[in-house]
Structure formats: structure tokens, C-alpha cells
Structure 1
Amino acid sequence: MSAGSGAALEAVRYGASELARAGAVLSVDLDAVRANYRLLGAQAPRAACAAVLKADAYGLGMERVAPALAREGCRVFFTAHVAEGMRLRQLVPEHCAIYVLHGPPPGTAPDFYQYDLIPVLNDPGQLREWRAAARQLGRRLPAAIQLDTGMSRMGMAPAELAAESAKPDWLSGLDLKLVMSHLACADEAGHPMNAGQRRRFERLREVFPGVPASLANSSGVFLGPAFHYDLLRPGAALYGINPQPDQPNPLRQAVQLAARIVQVREIAEGAAVGYGARWVAPGPRRIATIALGYADGWLRSLSGRGQAFVDGVAAPFAGTVSMDSITLDVSGLPAERVAPGRLVDLLCAQQDLDAVARDAGSIGYELLTRLGGRFHRRYLGA
């Protein structure tokens, strides 16, 4: 995907009949996703690089992203839920490993063996259930174990691990593929929590001699070799989110978003715009309404602080972000460039996901995964 706004040429590239039905167009650059995967893997040449595809590949579409990454050489994938893993199994080669981060909900063990999924066991209850499934089937079942090294979210606490590992049959029937933990502060390279979690992980994984280990998420990939172990687990970084917020982003942006102008009007000084009448024109203004709103994932907190771009020129939000629309102050821009039916850019060379998230008081992860289903999606490359 070429850099720049791209909106001026959208009608030519995409076709007027399709544009007439699309309030907004989301373009996903699969070549950028693949390039990001290569860059992430290159940070740790001695480790394998997985891909986290939870939440429908962070909202970009698992059906297109998963095969692209598989063609790039990815052989290990992660989802959050078992239903996501079942869906993913239809999209990647059968020899690919698929881990389910939330483990097996009660009663779902048959789904795991039918779809060749590997549960990440997070507590003694899941461990017992998976051992029981192995006994019932009369064969060893693959599994991963997650350890809580300080995030207090998921994974076995040190006391739980000590109690379970004291039992002689605690891993009976299990083919343990991976031991893992998750970093809480990896996006802050100097945070003492990182070194503390790594030390705890080193100590706890001594219970699993010879079992491959994984600690590095997207940001953890950039903390150095001590955090790499055997498997990297990048997620949002694959799609262009900056894993080091205080550093220039080394990754390619994988998404662009353009929304269509629905209406343009001239308003007088003192006229109010939007819900709550919070924005009042300081003088004569031209206001353009675009077909994008918080129902599409464009956060309401961007009211009064967000912006769109027309040929690289900023058009600030005027008024409150609504469910299906946003009003822009396009005063001073050429009338022909802001006519109804034209596209303005929301994600582009001038404004990436991280920049929009900062304006919204959020993070790029939230914005990316909230992008709605009403967009027409174009997949480029791969």
C-alpha cells in the first residue's frame, strides 16, 4: 500500500458502484502484516515466532490474515477462545499448532481433540480436567501451562504450582509442549517489573526441565535476548501498533481508513454543532458530516479533539462524535474536495492508530479491535 492519504484516487481504484454502498472503506495491507512478522522474528533468530490472532486477528479478519501469515512461514498461532481456535483450524495447514489462551471451558474437551487445539492450562482446575480427558481417551494430550509471574491475571500462582508439582501424577497423561507467562509492563523497557517477572519465570520453569518456554509478547520482543526463550508471541505489533511507545515505530502500518462525506453545510457564527451543543462556530464555517461514528469503533472520547485529513490537510472534529456520524470543520478547504461522496482519511500516513488512540485517551489495541463491521474491507497484497 502506498503511503499518503489515498482518498483522492479511491473512487478510481475501487469502483463507484461499491463506494455508493460504503460509508467507509478499511484497507488492510497483508504484505505489511507479513513484513512485520519477518521483522519481529528477526529480533530473535534463535527463537520461533508465533502469531496471536485473537479477536478476529485484532479486528482485521482472521480469514485473510491467517493464510497470509502461514504463507510467510508462521507455524504457531494463538487464539483466546476455543471457538476462535476451531475457526482458525480451517484456515491454516494441518501441521500448524494452535494454542487457546483461555484453556478448556468445562465440557469443551472434545472440541480440542476434534480440531487439534492445544489448551493453555491456567489453574489447577483446568489441569485436572485435562488430565481426566487424557485418562478417558487413553492417550497423552498436548498442553501448555501458563505461570503467573506477577500480573495476577491468568496462570498458576507460585503456591498453586508448588502444590500441584508435589503430586507424583500431576502431569500424567499430558504431552507438555510449552510453559509460558505474560509480561505486564513490556511496553516500558526500563520498568523494574520486567526483570522481576523474568527472574520469577526462570525460577518457576525449573519445574519443567526441557520444556520450551515463552515470555515475550509484542513489546517483550524488543526487551532483548534474555526475554526471547524459545517462542515469541507477538499480537498487535503484527498489525502496526508501536511496541515501544517512546521510540520510533519500526513496523509498517497495516490499516488505512477513509470515510465518506454525507452532507456539507455552511453555518453562521454562533451556530451549535452536534449533541449537547458543545461546539459553537467562532465565525462562519463549512461543516462536513462523514459516515463514521462510535458504532464503527471511532471512540466518542475523540469529540472535540480528533481530526480527519483531506489531501494531507487536517480537518478537526467539530462537535460530539455520534453513533453513525462525525462533523468536521472543513472551512478553507477547496469545496470540490469536500463535496458529498468524497472520502476523507482517518487512518493514513498523517495519522496512525497510535496517534488516534492518544487523542482518545486510549491505546492502539482498543481502537484496532473496535473497528466495526460496517466498513467495506479491501485486502491488498499477499
Structure 2
Amino acid sequence: MAHPSMAHAGATLTIDLAAIRDNHRQLKEIAGGAVCAAVIKADAYGLGASRVAPALEDAGCDTFFVAHIGEAIALRPHLNPTTRVIVLHGPPPGTGPDFVAHDIRPVLSSREQIQAWSRLATRLGRPLDAMLQVDTGMSRLGLAPDDVIGLADQPGMLDGIRVCGVMSHLACADDPQHPANAEQHSRFVEALRLLPPAPACLSASSGIFLGADFHFDMVRPGAALYGIAPVPGRANPMSPVVRLQARIIQTRTVPAGAAVGYGYTHRTTSPRRIATVSVGYADGYLRALSGTGCAHIGDVRLPVIGRVSMDTITLDASDVDEHHLQPGASVELIGPKTSVDDVARSAGTIGYEILTSIGNRYHRVYAH
């Protein structure tokens, strides 16, 4: 879907590609000698994989992870032929030939996926690359401990498969003190001992900050690339990536006791100036921000009052000079005064949801 022009959109989303490249360089430096891949699933967390991936490629990234084969096929034309594209969910039944045709590698997480990939390699008469995923305690995706032992006892199950990596996923990496981190690390090391020698990858964004023991041969940051704080409660070392500026549609002054928005959930206690802004939950500005979110004009905070609607929010603009509130003037919903993580806290969620909820009605500007 094409994004609207500035004149036709209710808001402008600015995406700083230079900041994404800087974040990748910083994460690569922290990871030491490990390869620093990039997770660009969900359209690069809502920011546009076809623009983000080439920018990261320019910064030296040559390995990208997505969730689905459809994402990988759409991404492939935007990358160099030698760049690796890896699908975290592996090959759905019947899609193996699509992986081969587009030079895409799957992550194999079950005996069934391994058997199907081995059969395809046999049919084609050549080895096929794949990563293996082991479950080290998250109980989501990956080979169970018994499956890993089974592979060690029956190495023929991997006939035709060139294992190009072994990975797992940390459940509690955003809490450095959580005992699960050490437990999963230990289980991962044990699995590596049983599986064919291959580059190991355990850590995503937060795991990188757990220290060198968690880096292994490859790290695969996602959220941190896009400016989300990798360790909640600590100062965010990542550069901010997005700025969202929304247009004022109309401003009005209402008396004390006036109701605002659906359900009359807000009533004014004194005369207030209300600015209605052209962004709502259809644009990814979550309904949970009703009465908790805010915008800024310069240094002045404008709280969201009343419910977030599908296409609009209402702001208390009483502290702003009227000449800043003309129709078409902008307020800042995400930016220097209110980060993605700030918005997430106000909504009772995480920055990942804020970014991946971003809609298609914004005019988009990519800063290089």
C-alpha cells in the first residue's frame, strides 16, 4: 500500500535510517567478534523493511531474520544476492521449493521440519542450508531436549542438511537478574555439545547486554535497532529512530463541566481549550492511551483527554498560545519529548507493540 503525500495525510512519520545504522554499529561493537544480524520481521517493526534492510546492508549487515516466508520473498529483491535471509518460523508444509527458488534459509524447529527439509535435499540431489532451533526453556518454538538427544543418536536425520547455525531464544533477557538467563544459557551450551558444530546464536536485543558469555558467534537484534530500550529501567543507549507529528484539525474552547469524547469519560473542571488531532487507533495510536497519552508543542505538554477515537484524539491545549493551534499545525506524539517507550508505558504495553501497530495512513519521510 502506497503511503499518502504530506498534503493528504493526517500525520507525518519520520524514520531516521542513519540512526538505525548507528544503532547497528553500536550493537555490533558491544557484541565483540560476533556477527551482528538484524531482525526485520513485521515490516521492520512497522518501519518499512524495503527501506530499512538496504540501509542496514550499507552498514555492513549481511544476515536478516524475518518470521514468514512471504516476508522473505518480498525482501529478497531489495538485497544483494549474497545476503542471507533466514525465516524464523521455518518452512510451512509444501513451501520448501519456494525457499530454494529464492535462496532463503529456514530455521528448523521440529523433527517434522527436519525430515521434510532432508527429503527435499535428497530429491534435489544437493545439500540445503538451514539453522536449527532448540527450546531451552521458553516452551514456544524449538527442538525439545529429547529431540536434540535423538539427533545426536541418529545423525542420519540430518542427511542433506548443511547446518549453518544453531539458535535459541531467551525468555527473560530484559531482566538481567532473572535466573532463567543462566539456566537457558546452560541448556543451550549442552545442546550445542550434542549437535553438529555450527555457529551459535542465542541473544536478541536485550541478550546482547547480558555480557560476552551470551554473544556466541552471532547476535540478532531487533527492537534495539529501532530505538527501543533494550534493558527497561536503565538509560536507553540507543539512538531514537522515529518521530510522529500529527495535524490539528480544529480547536475550540469549552466551559467547565463540558464532556469530551465517546462515553463522556472526561469532563472539564474549568474552561479549557481543546485541540482535535488527526490520529486515532486506526493509525496505531492505541485506545489504551485514552486519558494517559500526551502530545507536545515545543516544551508544552498537551494531555490526551477523553477516549482515543478511530481517527482522532482530543488534547488539552489550554497552556499553548493560540497562534500555535491553527488548523494544519503539528503536535508531536513521538519524538524528543516523548519516546516510543514513554508512549508504551502510558498505554500499559511495550515499545514493540507501539511500533508494530503503526498504520499506513501516515506520510512517511526517510531521513538518511
TM-score (norm 1): 0.94
Distance 1:102 1:90 in 2: 21
Q: CA RMSD in A?
A: 1.0
CA 18–108 in structure 1, closer or farther in 2 if over 3 Å, else same = closer
Give the Å deviation of 1:163.
2.4
Structure 1 residue runs without a partner (length 5+): 1-16
CA contact (8 A) 2:39 2:222 kept: yes
Distance 2:299 2:103 in 1: 48
Amino acid at match of 2:240: Q
Q: How does 1:96-245 map to 2 (within 5 A)?
A: 96-245=83-232
Distance 2:176 2:299 in 1: 33
* CA offset digits 1:196-255 (Å, max 9, x no partner): 000000001112243110001000011000000000100010010000112100000000
Q: Secondary structure in 2 aligned to 1:113?
A: helix
Q: Secondary structure in 2 aligned to 1:169?
A: helix
- Alignment match of 2:345 (pick from 358, 371, 375): 358
Give the Å deviation of 1:20.
2.9
* CA offset digits 1:262-313 (Å, max 9, x no partner): 1111111111000110000111111110000111111111111110001121
Distance 1:208 1:164 in 2: 7
2:204 maps to 1:247: no
Distance 2:120 2:172 in 1: 36
- Alignment match of 1:36 (pick from 23, 32, 45): 23
Distance 1:18 1:160 in 2: 52
Give the Å deviation of 1:46.
1.1
Q: Who is 1:341 aligned against? A: 328
Q: Percent identity?
A: 51
Give the Å deviation of 1:256.
0.2
TM-score (norm 2): 0.98
Distance 1:365 1:321 in 2: 20
- Alignment match of 2:61 (pick from 70, 74, 94): 74
Q: Who is 2:302 aligned against? A: 315
Q: Who is 1:65 aligned against? A: 52
Give the Å deviation of 1:260.
0.3
Give the Å deviation of 1:24.
0.4
Q: Who is 2:11 aligned against? A: 24
Distance 1:245 1:45 in 2: 23
2:362 maps to 1:375: yes
Distance 1:298 1:78 in 2: 27
Distance 2:6 2:200 in 1: 48
* CA offset digits 1:168-201 (Å, max 9, x no partner): 4111000110000000000001110000000000
Give the Å deviation of 1:332.
2.5
Q: Secondary structure in 1 aligned to 2:274?
A: strand
Amino acid at match of 2:294: Q
Give the Å deviation of 1:57.
0.5
Q: Secondary structure in 1 aligned to 2:175?
A: coil
Distance 2:300 2:283 in 1: 23
Q: How does 1:79-98 map to 2 (within 5 A)?
A: 79-98=66-85
Q: Secondary structure in 2 aligned to 1:259?
A: strand
CA contact (8 A) 2:226 2:240 kept: yes
Give the Å deviation of 1:18.
4.7
CA contact (8 A) 2:110 2:143 kept: yes
Q: Who is 1:55 aligned against? A: 42
CA 18–144 in structure 1, closer or farther in 2 if over 3 Å, else same = closer
Distance 1:52 1:180 in 2: 14
Q: Secondary structure in 1 aligned to 2:213?
A: helix
Aligned length: 365
Distance 2:35 2:26 in 1: 13
Distance 2:284 2:151 in 1: 43
Give the Å deviation of 1:89.
1.0
Distance 2:82 2:117 in 1: 22
Distance 2:295 2:137 in 1: 40
